[in-house]
């Protein structure tokens, strides 16, 4: 522990990371507005204002998370983990059922998704666990197995809800962190192989709608008016945006409801941006994420200790998975799953989780090594 | 990238991890580039295809005018109540038919009109033509419009719209000539693509409406609307108004037309005969059709969209075929009106001279058959002049046989018989001029002298239309100019820019030194006290003409009956003919008794003089 504390944290924090986060949040509010816009004189759903409240709350959590040393936060890893698992169990019992899935814990309009919080808990727990292994232990196959179990429990609970997208997010987090912790590549490949062997089981376990989505992913022209509707309409929205887009509030795919109003502000917000701002706008958004994750990787590289490095890795892996799967989904690169776009998609839980995660990154950066 | 990561002490595995992330972003950018730049056009087309609908807007038909600008056909507004099915608020569980019909039921009660739309109409319209208005009631009278206005505010998806509807202001006047317009059929192939809502024009079905259809129709307009996924219109993207059709000016004179129709309606028919007749009036100086009428007739206003089917059916199924234009579309033996042709053929061939005589004893023996003259008592000694004036058949039997069939047929064809006249009003039949070769081909029989005799008096196989006989009459009047008759004088845009103008067209010029003689005999036919056509005379007007009576067998209720087709062709004034007329009645006593008075009335009307008949009647009254 350093004896002389360096300058206050806001002087040491990564302002570029903060600026990119704010830019994405502002973009989010603007395009959630656009996604719920139906034309002049039409009633306007208050999604965008709701999102502003979430971002406000997220900013408070962000500052709070920055203020407490990440090492202290990680000491409580077991508690976070147990709390996360308990809430995942709870949601299965008393969760609010929406579209046949129990994902929400909530009172009235205020609801959170434990699955989103569980992602952070898993990252913290894995970082804490792997940090405390000796270099020799980290080479051992048991050090691979234990994190798999740690990840597997919430993963299965989330699958039961069901929420395939969130459950799958845990997988890249696990592998990225094991990889960065120094686990043997041989062990990791073995784990991947095992996972592939389980694929038929997964198919057998899937709900009909999930199978349909996969089938549509493999062949977008299958059932374009049913299961393939969202994918096709998203492709048309993105593609018809062209290079410069149709202009703010001018996206017909979105405002006329071809891109269904239930998904436009959240899972398919990127399609709205791409339709209205074109390739230029879409590339800018991708660029913002690239800067965001690039900064995250720099933070990992400059972390004071292995704990910070692993934590940063897990966060980057989580955010990257979300960005890649969500944007990939809107252009048919990935199957349709309900994985939200960090800081852009409408939704409180993941906005909070994303900002907490970015707060943790700032935290690690503030406590980085000094040269 | 140095601002993203500090260089230097970066572990290898972090570099691998960063590489994966960077590759992911690159992949996203490339995929976006492919979708938004390379395939942008394809997706743009798909976007438009699913959200844009083109609606074809029918154009209003152009007006039809007579030569002096009198309106013969134009449009009037029809006030229709329509329902926009896409504007009805219905939830997923509600049924469109129930919602629509319950809305309409309220209105129906208020307006005291029954809803005639079937369930199928509503469903089909909802699925196939959703953003278009569905017509509920057509052509509401003003009191019902007022009832609608009281209720309209509460029914947002229902509107009163005005659509142009074809109107013939003079009712049945010139009905056969004008024809009528009805709903055009939708072309199946070319415009049948699914993003096209087709609203049909009115198409001309007969007469000028049909022959000038292309000009009258104008150019359709279009409206492009945006629809949402449920097919509801959410706004207009583009609009191009339909162009009104061209204005067609005819050579018809509405006044003369009225005179002619009136004269036909008052024809002195024998008892029990139905009026089935035709009349054509030409200007012998140009070939312009001044009037054309056919009986029985119909009211073209009946054939508007939404007309009562029962009334339309009555017209269509009428055994008297009121829709048939007998002036151009029916063929009859011309009878003695053909005799001037035979006369010219005979004199021109050199086989007969004007002074050659025959002795008419009421009939003539040809081979082993006896052929009668209409006058059973015989005309006695007859020369060319009296043969025409008295219409003696025997003189024509003899001189016709001397002339030979070929010369007669040639002259007949020179006058335009046996071929379409080239009339631009449509629906024309060619008629028939028989020749030995024709008879051989159709009956496998040789041509007998008796056939020539029959042909000479306008019978045997000879068939002509009233229009052809009018042309023939005009050529006799003007000394041999066979005009192509025409009725379309001018076509101009609605703004008045002339598109086309018809110039008189000479089909043939018959030169014969005997024209004047033939004309004189026709003048005598009307003017001489012993002429057969004296009932066509009009005091103060030098009318010339020729009567005709042709016997024909028709089937009435399965039994064959012999009736007389009666004709009169005439022109006036004799010195400088301005009018040539042909009148046919399918059933009459004789040309002189039944047809000549009709022509007399026509000339009297045209030249503003009372007829000789009326004058005589007046004298008697004194």
pLDDT for the residue numbered B611: 61
Q: What residues in A contact B50, CB-CB < 8 Å?
A: 236, 258
Convert the pLDDT of each residue in B186-233 to its tens digit. Answer: 655 544 444 467 676 778 888 999 999 989 988 888 888 888 877 777
Name the band, by pLDDT with cuts 50, 70 and 90, for residue B617.
very low
Q: Which of B21, B24, B47 sits opposite A240 (nearest CB)?
A: B47
pLDDT of residue B52 exceeding 90, the answer is: no
Q: How far is CA B392 from the centre of its chain?
A: 38
Cα–Cα distance measured from residue B92 to residue B395, given in angstroms and rounded to the nearest whole number? 90
pLDDT for the residue numbered B186: 60
Q: CB of B411 within 8 A of CB of B340?
A: no
pLDDT for the residue numbered B9: 52
Report DSSP letters for B532-592, one per residue. Answer: TTGGG-BTTB--EEEEEEEEEEEEETTEEEEEEEEEEEEEE-SSS--EEEEEEESS-S-II
Q: Which value, to the nearest 10 degrees, does the dihedral of the CA atoms of residues A308, A71, A21, A155 take?
A: 80
What residues does each domain of chain A span? 9-366
| A285, closest residue in chain B (CA to CA) | B29
Residue, of B186 and A10, whose pLDDT is higher: A10
Question: What rounded mean pLDDT belongs to chain B?
Answer: 88
**Residue from B18, B33, B47 whose CB has the most chain A CBs within 10 Å, to mutate:** B47
Name the band, by pLDDT with cuts 50, 70 and 90, for residue B620.
very low
* Listed range (A121-135, A316-330, B121-135) with the worst mean pLDDT: B121-135
Q: Which of A239, A258, A297 sits opposite B35 (nearest CB)?
A: A239
Residue B44 contacts A, CB cutoff 8 Å: yes
ipTM of the shown complex = 0.93
| A276, closest residue in chain B (CA to CA) | B36
Q: CB of B73 within 8 A of CB of B213?
A: no
Q: E strands along A195-253, which residues?
A: none
Question: What rounded mean pLDDT belongs to chain A?
Answer: 88
* Listed range (A140-144, B183-187, B522-526) with the worst mean pLDDT: B183-187
3-state secondary structure string across B356-382: CCEEECCEEEECCEEEECCCCCCCEEE
CB atoms within 10 A of CB B576: 11
pLDDT of residue B6 exceeding 60, the answer is: no
A-B Cβ pairs (cutoff 8 Å, strict): 126
Residue B49 contacts A, CB cutoff 8 Å: no
Average pLDDT value for residue range B98-113: 84
| B24, closest residue in chain A (CA to CA) | A324
Q: Provide the token pair at B316.
A: 């269509």
pLDDT for the residue numbered B74: 92
Q: What residues in B contact A331, CB-CB < 8 Å?
A: 31-32, 35
Q: CB of A177 within 8 A of CB of B8?
A: no
Q: Which of B9, B14, B28 sits opposite A297 (nearest CB)?
A: B14
* Listed range (A56-60, A221-225, B407-411) with the worst mean pLDDT: A221-225
What's the maximum distance between 2 C-alpha atoms anywhere in chain B? 143
Convert the pLDDT of each residue in A60-112 to its tens digit. Answer: 999 999 989 999 999 999 999 999 999 999 988 887 777 667 777 776 556 78
Name the band, by pLDDT with cuts 50, 70 and 90, for residue A321.
very high
pLDDT for the residue numbered B117: 84
Cα–Cα distance measured from residue A309 to residue A321, given in angstroms and rounded to the nearest whole number? 18
Where would I find the H helices in B429-514?
A: 436-443, 449-456, 466-478
pLDDT of residue B553 exceeding 70, the answer is: yes
Query: What backbone torsions phi and psi does residue B490 show, to the nearest 5 degrees?
Result: -155, 145
CB contact under 8 A, B40 and A282: no
Average pLDDT value for residue range B343-370: 92
Name the band, by pLDDT with cuts 50, 70 and 90, for residue B382.
very high
Cα–Cα distance measured from residue A257 to residue B607, given in angstroms and rounded to the nearest whole number? 75
Length of chain B: 622
**Sign of the CA dihedral running A308, A310, A311, A316:** positive
Q: CB of B362 within 8 A of CB of B377?
A: yes
Average pLDDT value for residue range B380-390: 93
CB contact under 8 A, B43 and A239: yes
pLDDT for the residue numbered B84: 84
Query: What backbone torsions phi and psi does residue B66 show, to the nearest 5 degrees?
Result: -85, -175
Q: How far is CA B536 from the centre of its chain?
A: 29
Cα–Cα distance measured from residue B518 to residue B411, given in angstroms and rounded to the nearest whole number? 14
Cα–Cα distance measured from residue B180 to residue B183, given in angstroms and rounded to the nearest whole number? 10
Residue, of B421 and B218, whose pLDDT is higher: B421
Q: What is the DSSP letter of B34?
A: I
Q: Given phi > 0 = left and psi -120 to 50 = alpha, else beta, which region is B365?
A: beta
Residue, of B58 and A28, whose pLDDT is higher: A28
Q: How far is B207 from chain A (nearest CA, A)?
A: 49
Query: What backbone torsions phi and psi does residue B411 show, to the nearest 5 degrees?
Result: -65, -40
Average pLDDT value for residue range B447-463: 93
Q: What residues in B contact A295, CB-CB < 8 Å?
A: 4
pLDDT of residue B508 exceeding 80, the answer is: yes
CB contact under 8 A, B33 and A179: no
Q: How far is A53 from chain B (nearest CA, A)?
A: 30
Q: What residues in A contact B86, CB-CB < 8 Å?
A: none
Q: Provide the token pair at A211.
A: 């199978």
Give me the percent of chain B exceeding a pLDDT of 90: 60
Q: How far is A268 from chain B (nearest CA, A)?
A: 15
Q: How far is B223 from chain A (nearest CA, A)?
A: 18
CB contact under 8 A, B24 and A302: no
**Sign of the CA dihedral running A6, A11, A16, A22:** positive
**Residue from B5, B18, B36 whose CB has the most chain A CBs within 10 Å, to mutate:** B36
Give me the percent of chain A exceeding a pLDDT of 90: 56
Q: Which of A258, A309, A323 sits opposite B51 (nearest CB)?
A: A258
Segment holding A328, helix H or strand E = helix A306-330
CB contact under 8 A, A300 and B50: no
Segment holding B158, helix H or strand E = strand B158-167
The beta-carbon contacts of A211-214 under 8 Å, at least 24 apart in sequence, are: A213/A335, A213/A336, A213/A337, A214/A335
* Listed range (A319-328, B6-15, B149-158, B451-460) with the worst mean pLDDT: B6-15
- In the block, tokens 């309209």 appear at B152
Q: What residues in A contact B4, CB-CB < 8 Å?
A: 291, 294-295, 297-298
């Amino acid at each position: 522990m350093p004896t002389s504390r360096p300058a206050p944290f806001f002087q040491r924090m990564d302002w570029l990371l903060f600026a990119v986060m704010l830019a994405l949040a502002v973009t989010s509010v603007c395009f959630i507005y656009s996604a719920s816009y139906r034309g002049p004189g039409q009633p306007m759903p208050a999604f965008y204002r709701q999102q502003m409240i979430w971002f406000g709350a997220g900013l408070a959590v962000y500052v709070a998370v920055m203020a407490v040393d990440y090492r202290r936060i990680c000491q409580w890893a077991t508690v976070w983990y147990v709390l996360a698992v308990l809430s995942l169990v709870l949601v299965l019992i008393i969760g609010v059922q929406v579209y046949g899935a129990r994902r929400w814990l909530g009172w009235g309009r205020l609801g959170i998704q434990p699955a989103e919080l569980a992602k952070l808990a898993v990252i913290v727990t894995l970082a804490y666990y792997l940090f405390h292994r000796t270099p020799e232990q980290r080479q051992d196959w048991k050090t691979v197995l234990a994190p798999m179990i740690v990840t597997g429990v919430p993963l299965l609970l989330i699958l039961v809800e069901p929420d395939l997208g969130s459950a799958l997010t845990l997988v890249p987090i696990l592998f990225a962190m094991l990889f960065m912790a120094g686990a043997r590549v041989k062990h990791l490949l073995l784990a991947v192989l095992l996972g592939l062997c389980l694929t038929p089981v997964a198919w057998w376990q899937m709900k009909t709608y999930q199978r349909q989505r996969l089938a549509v992913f493999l062949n977008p022209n299958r059932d374009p008016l049913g299961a393939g509707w969202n994918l096709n309409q998203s492709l048309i929205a993105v593609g018809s945006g062209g290079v410069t887009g149709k202009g703010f509030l001018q996206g017909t795919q979105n405002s006329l409801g071809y891109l269904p109003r239930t998904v436009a502000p959240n899972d398919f917000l990127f399609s709205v941006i791409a339709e209205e701002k074109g390739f230029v706008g879409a590339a800018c958004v991708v660029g913002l994420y690239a800067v965001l994750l690039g900064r995250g990787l720099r933070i990992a590289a400059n972390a004071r200790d292995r704990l910070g490095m692993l934590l940063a890795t897990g966060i980057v892996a989580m955010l990257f998975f979300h960005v890649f799967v969500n944007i990939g989904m809107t252009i048919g690169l990935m199957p349709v799953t309900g994985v939200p776009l960090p800081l852009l998609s409408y939704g409180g839980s993941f906005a909070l989780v994303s900002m907490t995660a970015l707060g943790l990154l700032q935290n690690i950066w503030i406590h980085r090594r000094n040269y | 990238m140095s601002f993203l990561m500090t260089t230097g002490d970066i572990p290898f595995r972090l570099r691998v991890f960063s590489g994966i992330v960077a590759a992911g972003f690159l992949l996203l950018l490339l995929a976006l580039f492919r979708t938004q730049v390379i395939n942008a056009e394809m997706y743009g087309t798909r976007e438009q295809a699913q959200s844009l609908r083109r609606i074809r807007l029918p154009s209003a038909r152009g007006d039809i005018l007579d030569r002096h600008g009198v309106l013969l056909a134009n449009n009037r507004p029809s006030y229709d109540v329509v329902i926009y099915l896409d504007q009805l608020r219905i939830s997923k569980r509600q049924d469109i038919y129930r919602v629509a019909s319950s809305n309409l039921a309220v209105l129906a009660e208020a307006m005291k009109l029954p809803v005639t739309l079937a369930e199928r109409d509503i469903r089909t319209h909802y699925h196939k033509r959703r953003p278009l208005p569905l017509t509920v009631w057509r052509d509401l009278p003003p009191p019902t419009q007022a009832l609608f206005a009281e209720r309209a505010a509460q029914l947002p998806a229902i509107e009163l719209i005005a659509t142009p509807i074809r109107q013939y202001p003079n009712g049945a006047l010139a009905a056969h000539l004008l024809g009528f317009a009805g709903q055009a059929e939708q072309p199946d192939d070319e415009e049948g693509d699914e993003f096209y809502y087709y609203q049909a024009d009115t198409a001309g079905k007969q007469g000028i409406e049909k022959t000038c259809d292309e000009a009258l129709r104008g150019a359709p307009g279009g409206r492009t609307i945006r629809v949402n996924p449920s097919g509801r219109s959410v706004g207009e993207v583009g609009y191009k108004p339909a162009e009104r059709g061209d204005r067609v000016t005819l050579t018809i004179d509405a006044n003369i037309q009225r005179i002619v129709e009136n004269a036909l309606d008052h024809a002195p028919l024998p008892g029990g005969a139905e009026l089935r007749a035709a009349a054509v009036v030409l200007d012998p100086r140009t070939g312009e059709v001044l009037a054309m009428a056919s009986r029985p007739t119909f009211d073209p206003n009946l054939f508007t969209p939404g007309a009562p089917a029962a009334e339309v059916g009555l017209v269509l199924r009428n055994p008297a075929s009121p829709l048939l234009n007998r002036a151009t579309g029916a063929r009859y033996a011309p009878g003695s009106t053909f005799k001037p042709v035979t006369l010219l053929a005979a004199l021109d061939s050199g086989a007969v001279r004007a002074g050659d005589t025959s002795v008419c004893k009421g009939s003539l023996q040809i081979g082993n058959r006896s052929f009668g003259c209409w006058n059973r008592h015989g005309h006695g000694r007859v020369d060319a002049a009296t043969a025409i004036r008295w219409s003696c058949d025997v003189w024509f039997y003899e001189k016709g046989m001397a002339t030979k069939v070929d010369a007669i047929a040639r002259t007949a064809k020179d006058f335009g018989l046996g071929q379409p006249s080239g009339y631009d009003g449509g629906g024309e039949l060619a008629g028939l001029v028989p020749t030995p070769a024709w008879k051989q081909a159709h009956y496998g029989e040789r041509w007998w002298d008796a056939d020539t005799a029959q042909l000479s008096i306008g019978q045997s196989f000879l068939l002509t239309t009233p229009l052809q006989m009018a042309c023939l009459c005009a050529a006799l009047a003007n000394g041999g100019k066979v005009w192509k008759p025409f009725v379309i004088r001018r076509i101009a845009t609605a703004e008045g820019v002339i598109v086309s103008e018809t110039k008189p067209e000479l089909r043939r010029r018959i030169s014969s030194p005997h024209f004047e003689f033939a004309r004189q005999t026709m003048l005598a036919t009307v003017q001489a006290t012993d002429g057969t056509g004296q009932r066509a005379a009009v005091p103060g007007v030098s009318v010339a003409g020729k009567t005709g009576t042709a016997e024909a067998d028709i089937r009435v209720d399965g039994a064959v009956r012999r009736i007389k087709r009666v004709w009169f062709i005439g022109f006036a004034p004799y010195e400088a003919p301005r009018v040539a007329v042909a009148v046919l009645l399918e059933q009459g006593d004789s040309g002189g008794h039944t047809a000549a008075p009709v022509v007399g009335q026509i000339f009297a009307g045209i030249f503003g003089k009372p007829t000789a008949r009326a004058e005589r009647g007046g004298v008697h009254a004194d």
